Structure 1
């Protein structure tokens, strides 16, 4: 997947969105200003960039002249000292830089001249100390890093009021890198597998975290597999050679009790289950007193009738076991629920009900193994591990079918699931959760980022492993540093390494948007851009613009077949957008040359009335 510089959207938004914030003046800072008006007592109105300030001058000056000033006092009033004579009108940035180098007694190295010209052009705060620090950083950049990227990294550090240290500079440079996280993860994994200086426990935990990142669909696959095996052992017509291996796998995975048999494989567990799950309702029914039984049955009946994960036919199957004219048979009710949720764990893998639960979570809860979401996940991982290590051909075929079922259902919900799982496994923002309860902290500790932080505290690890861990951690930290908030204007940078269908890719997300007064995103206006490198279509760009909830989509590609392919999906796209309150105005297929687009695309400066959300994947 190709990726352009993260600075593209940032730069244009800073041009397009005016700000009323005045840059604070710091003592010792050198600024370029023009005298606009003179007042008594050597006070003047000075134009500095886009702002005007009233300042006390140490010497009388003439209105209209431009000078370099040094701030000698910032409060309660700004006091300025002239450090250069009047600057000739029309002086270039290079000429101004030479004059400033001379008056500040700085060396005239190529790096220093480049830095000072950049500072002047971008109107950044100038001091001798900052210029020297920036020069030293520029001298350290490797050959594969452009001067422009390095200067933008310095600018970002200054905007965030962070010190210009080598470590922070490298972190921001890593965040701006077009190399995806996949590259850093693969490099670290290879070094880790050969590392002999850390304990097997630490190595295993890190490898497990990397495995979770690489397998975002592992739990859906496990859910589909569990559904298939429950369905098999419940089917009295299936051959013994099929039912017995499935039963044995579930018992060895500790999903079914050891006393389970083919005649009664899934008795009601009565154990605590996930809130609002099918298992919880069955548990309530089991433990209800005779006086409470009627209310528990009615609650279950209503829940089934309203359950969006089940078809009408499946609802009828379960409800037929709850008819008042027949004696209540808990085994039959439990088996009916297991049957329909085992089916849906294979047919509606990524669907969720109103409480955010998928069919597999209801299925695990009915088996008595899911009082919390973490325990549901642990149960499913046990299932996957046991099934993949089996030598039984039937079970191996079930695993393959489960993987194929997941791949066949890849849609928007599936990718949402994958991205959430990967971000959770990476632990991008674990620092924000450190103040949470102890149980959540224990879960956070199993994420990749906190493990990398802990690993780097170990001084005995090898140099290659340390370098690999620092590169990976720096990449994640760099993306976080580049994410920022400026009043109502928010920016988020994120990169999600995805792996599926044997393919590896990085989804790079760049989001810029205004918040409404209630703190929510103004979704009426948006620009979303997808930069893709596809096997068949090669380089492809999808540019989606939203204005007043009217959506216009432009597809950029060199393949002449794309226009006909796009027509096939236009109606379904129109219906999908309409279902969430948007109107499709059109889908336009263009070549890159028509809009001067390429893999190094620079976004047009968005107009103020269409600002909302900018996402790049």
Structure 2
């Protein structure tokens, strides 16, 4: 369902930019005459584009013909090749005109270009043939070819593979997990170790906001006067590797403690500059309390173990009382997790992936090390080594292509800006992906205009499964469409609509409406294959907006 809704919404997105089709000399296209003007001029429609050209031939309004560009200097001049084909013989004639053999592949490509009304020449067909030669999924490949031609992308193997990977429904999360498993068996070269470190940093980014919240709540409990909760919090922090002296907690004033920095392990004096920088970032996001990176790493490690399938073994050092207390702390974090923390998580994960690595290296020199340690440049360095097996190279290349495809689809188009990305996220132990497509206007000074945008979120969530959220912003008035198979989601989400409306009003936006659209009632998906309605009732909320 998710893929079909995604494709439908993409097709209906009127803001989706299309590059002006190229009408160079020698190019052939199949078009319809829309109007005939004096002096042998005619308006010809090719797809959604109209072309005013000079044409010395007998033509009829409303009829379709094969044309060839005779001259592209000044006014475009067209030559009539043949009228609309009724039996398929014209495809063979076009191939003969281009001195190409009427093979099955050439015929299918020419028919496809004719149907899509895309201009082409001999070189276009030869390049498409090469791109399709080693790909079994012809339908998906031709869809990518259509995107490349309509967007004006070059017909190169690198662009084709990147867009094909971006179009592949397999989650980026699955590829990263597969790569992590494959790396264990590889020779531990510097490139392999750097790649493993990048994957760990990515996982840390997904859990970091949760880890910081956990540390904050545990630390607050160490200053409480609760005879049960205080020692439990102290024990958990100590098992995370924090050296704490209990008397200092019982005697400290919580208000004074907010001005203090949590202890940094004594054996890491070289970490001080990094700690100070991390503390500054944490202060901006989470308040005045500062937290050392080493402590955050320990909290991330603890959370990973807790959320893993081997939780019982990993938590064998914890008492049952400590486990229950820890679980309660996490539940309170889950209920209070805010949009600010989710945004921080998204930004950190995107940065750790290095999707936009090429543009980030143009940033100030101080940020280069962080950029170089992200996943994409680590993958590129790994692929430069020739001693790795084919399976792991295929996985690494697929990841690079998937990220490149997202980068290719993120660009500026005049006053419009378009972003397309997919990131892995961890929703309290549930690993999934978020796909987002964003189109918005830019102001005169090149900044994002907050008054107008169109956003699509594609989610696969633990409780409500495949979900599409479409948000339209027009002059700061917001309309939200939620596509899901469950009917119960509307009642549950209605409880949050008033909170959403109030939150938007605080930042000067007006919520016009929130529509919940079930698959069977969705006109956008009427022509899709029927799917079984979910029998399970809805329980729980995955993401609070």
Q: Shorter-chain TM-score: which interval?
A: 0.7 to 0.9
Q: What is the alpha-carbon distance in structure 1 between the residues aligned to residue 520 and residue 232 of structure 2?
A: 59
Where do 5+ consecutive residues of structure 1 fail to align?
269-313, 319-333, 341-352, 366-375, 603-616
1:123 aligns with 2:125: no
Would the aligned equivalents of 1:44 and 1:54 in 2 still touch at CA under 8 Å? yes
Q: Which has the higher contact order (CA 8 A, sep 6+)?
A: 1
Give the Å deviation of 1:422. 1.3
SS at match of 1:113: helix
Q: What is the alpha-carbon distance in structure 2 between the residues aligned to residue 548 and residue 141 of structure 1?
A: 45
1:459-501 Cα offsets, whole Å, 9 max, x none, are: 1112111111001111111121122332223322111111232
Q: What is the alpha-carbon distance in structure 2 between the residues aligned to residue 459 and residue 600 of structure 1?
A: 48
1:515 aligns with 2:442: yes
Counterpart selection for 1:109 from 96, 99, 103: 103
Counterpart selection for 2:384 from 437, 444, 457: 457
SS at match of 2:418: strand
2:289 aligns with 363
1:346 aligns with none
1:27-68 Cα offsets, whole Å, 9 max, x none, are: 4333457694565xxx8567463444456x8xx645659865
1:172 aligns with 2:163: yes
Q: Residues 541-556 of structure 1: matches in 2 within 5 Å?
A: 541-556=468-483
1:433 aligns with 360
Q: What is the alpha-carbon distance in structure 1 between the residues aligned to residue 103 and residue 151 of structure 2?
A: 27
Change (3 A) 1:101 1:134: same
Counterpart selection for 2:333 from 391, 406, 417: 406
SS at match of 1:195: coil
2:417 aligns with 490
Would the aligned equivalents of 2:433 and 2:460 in 1 still touch at CA under 8 Å? no
**RMSD over aligned Cα, in angstroms?**
4.5
Counterpart selection for 1:30 from 3, 25, 28: 28
Change (3 A) 1:515 1:377: same
Q: Residues 152-551 of structure 1: matches in 2 within 5 Å?
A: 152-196=143-187, 198-199=188-189, 201-227=190-216, 230-231=219-220, 335=257, 337-338=259-260, 357-358=283-284, 362-364=288-290, 376-378=292-294, 380-381=296-297, 393=318, 403-551=330-478
Change (3 A) 1:527 1:486: closer
1:12 aligns with 12
SS at match of 1:498: strand
Change (3 A) 1:399 1:222: farther
Would the aligned equivalents of 2:440 and 2:452 in 1 still touch at CA under 8 Å? no
Change (3 A) 1:452 1:236: same
Change (3 A) 1:514 1:120: farther
Change (3 A) 1:505 1:511: same
Which of these two proteins has the greater Rg computed from alpha carbons?
1
Would the aligned equivalents of 2:198 and 2:373 in 1 still touch at CA under 8 Å? yes
Q: What is the alpha-carbon distance in structure 1 between the residues aligned to residue 382 and residue 513 of structure 2?
A: 52
1:577 aligns with 2:504: yes
Q: What is the alpha-carbon distance in structure 1 between the residues aligned to residue 233 and residue 214 of structure 2?
A: 14
Give the Å deviation of 1:207. 2.5
Q: What is the alpha-carbon distance in structure 2 between the residues aligned to residue 525 and residue 568 of structure 1?
A: 27
Change (3 A) 1:601 1:180: farther
SS at match of 1:337: coil
Q: What is the alpha-carbon distance in structure 1 between the residues aligned to residue 364 and residue 518 of structure 2?
A: 53
Q: What is the alpha-carbon distance in structure 2 between the residues aligned to residue 560 and residue 9 of structure 1?
A: 21
1:565 aligns with 2:492: yes
1:2 aligns with 2
- TM-score, normalisation: structure 1: 0.67
- TM-score, normalisation: structure 2: 0.74
SS at match of 2:131: helix
Change (3 A) 1:105 1:525: same
